[in-house]
């Protein structure tokens, strides 16, 4: 990689870090839904080939989410808002965290390598579109059940959420918070528990992407498997300073309108990525 390309990579990653950190604080999400499209366009701009660009974006986002989720789950746990009976109960086979982690690892290590860059981009775009609909039209007071289901639900629902989140490079909050809320979990407890899900998703997903991308050609410099270490270091470090700015802005604006604005922006990004993957 020549000096100009390296400088362009660093500058674009700094831009991604600032935008994702600010937006993460502004909209109250882990940032994967913002990081993945931004990294996709950043890596594409420096010439990463189509067959590797989306996998690298998703994997790097997953690595950053390890740091974000660890910070988040510690803060929520200190406030008593992480439901350990859902995340990691004594009967381990009933653990949503266990099945989410297993689904995440299998998706990153086995399913993702079988998907083309276009297919992975289209998958992200379709799911992001429905997540955007939830942000725009979702009703936080609507419930389907009185409690979180047991039985076969943890392996089926958990592995599905973990797998989809890993393939999208997100921490799962956009999927799991609405699901927990539908099961009558109070919103603060749903958010705190979902932060634990984020860690259960990101750790095995990152390991899976390192494994599955180990000998793939076309990855940007400073990559370990599909995980770009330069992207991880810059985004994880720099975004930390921009999260408080987003939080401050969020408290000055109406929360419902903010979610709707984010949903509209995410929908536009999803439609553009779907257009790129299909045409």
Outline where DSSP puts E strands in 158-237.
223-224, 227-228
User: Rounded to an integer, what distance in angstroms lies between the CA atom of residue 267 and that of residue 76?
Assistant: 29
* Lookup result for tokens 């803060």: 75
Output the CA torsion 219→224→225→228 (10° steps). -50
Q: Residue 227: helix, strand or coil by DSSP? A: strand
* Lookup result for tokens 């973990």: 162
Give the per-residue pLDDT at 251: 64
Furthest-apart CA pair in the chain: how many Å? 58
| CA 230 to chain CA centroid, nearest Å | 18
Give the per-residue pLDDT at 30: 62
Q: Residue 51: helix, strand or coil by DSSP? A: helix
Q: What is the DSSP letter of 219?
A: P
Question: At a CB cut-off of 8 Å and minimum separation 6, what does 275 contact?
Answer: none
Phi-psi region of 242 (alpha: psi -120 to 50; beta: other; left: phi over 0): alpha
Query: Do the Cβ atoms of 96 and 157 come closer than 8 Å?
Result: yes
Give the per-residue pLDDT at 110: 95
Give the per-residue pLDDT at 32: 83
Q: How many domains does the chain have?
A: 1
User: Rounded to an integer, what distance in angstroms lies between the CA atom of residue 203 and that of residue 101?
Assistant: 8
User: Rounded to an integer, what distance in angstroms lies between the CA atom of residue 100 and that of residue 87?
Assistant: 9
Query: Do the Cβ atoms of 250 and 28 come closer than 8 Å?
Result: yes
Give the per-residue pLDDT at 2: 72
Range of the domain at 195: 3-278
Query: Do the Cβ atoms of 171 and 101 come closer than 8 Å?
Result: no
Please list the pLDDT of the chain residue by residue as tens digits (279 residues): 677 877 877 888 888 888 877 876 666 566 788 889 889 988 888 889 989 999 999 999 999 989 888 878 888 888 888 899 999 898 899 999 999 999 999 999 999 999 998 999 999 999 989 888 888 887 767 788 889 999 999 999 999 999 999 999 988 777 888 889 889 998 778 888 888 898 999 999 999 999 999 989 999 888 999 999 989 999 999 988 887 787 677 667 776 777 788 788 888 888 988 887 876
Residue 260: exposed, middle, or buried by beta-carbon count in 10 A (0-12, 13-18, 19+)?
middle
Question: At a CB cut-off of 8 Å and minimum separation 6, what does 129 contact?
Answer: 267, 270, 271, 274
Alpha-helix runs per DSSP H in the chain? 3-27, 32-45, 50-78, 84-87, 96-106, 117-137, 153, 159-168, 173-182, 187-212, 229-251, 255-278
Helix, strand, coil percent content, the chain, rounded in steps of 5: 75, 0, 20
How many residues appear in the chain?
279
């Amino acid at each position: 990689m020549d000096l100009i390309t390296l400088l362009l990579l660093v500058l674009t990653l700094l831009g991604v870090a600032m935008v994702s950190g600010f937006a993460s604080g502004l909209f109250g999400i882990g940032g994967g839904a913002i990081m993945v499209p931004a990294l996709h366009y950043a890596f594409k701009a420096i010439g990463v080939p189509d067959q590797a660009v989306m996998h690298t974006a998703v994997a790097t986002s997953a690595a950053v989410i390890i740091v974000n989720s660890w910070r988040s789950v510690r803060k929520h746990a200190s406030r008593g808002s992480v439901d350990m009976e859902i995340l990691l109960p004594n009967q381990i086979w009933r653990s949503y965290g266990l099945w989410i982690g297993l689904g995440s690892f299998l998706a990153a290590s086995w399913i993702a390598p079988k998907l083309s860059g276009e297919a992975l981009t289209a998958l992200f775009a379709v799911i992001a579109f429905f997540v955007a609909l939830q942000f725009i039209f979702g009703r936080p007071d609507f419930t389907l059940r009185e409690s979180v289901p047991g039985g076969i639900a943890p392996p089926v629902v958990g592995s599905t959420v973990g797998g989809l989140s890993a393939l999208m490079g997100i921490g799962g909050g956009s999927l799991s918070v609405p699901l927990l809320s539908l099961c009558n979990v109070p919103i603060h407890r749903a958010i705190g528990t979902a932060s634990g899900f984020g860690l259960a998703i990101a750790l095995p997903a990152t390991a899976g992407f390192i494994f599955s991308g180990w000998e793939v050609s076309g990855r940007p410099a400073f990559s370990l498997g599909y995980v770009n270490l330069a992207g991880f270091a810059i985004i994880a470090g720099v975004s930390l300073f921009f999260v408080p700015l987003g939080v401050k802005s969020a408290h000055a604006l109406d929360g419902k309108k903010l979610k709707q604005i984010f949903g509209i922006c995410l929908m536009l990004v999803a439609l553009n990525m779907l257009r790129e993957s299909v045409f």
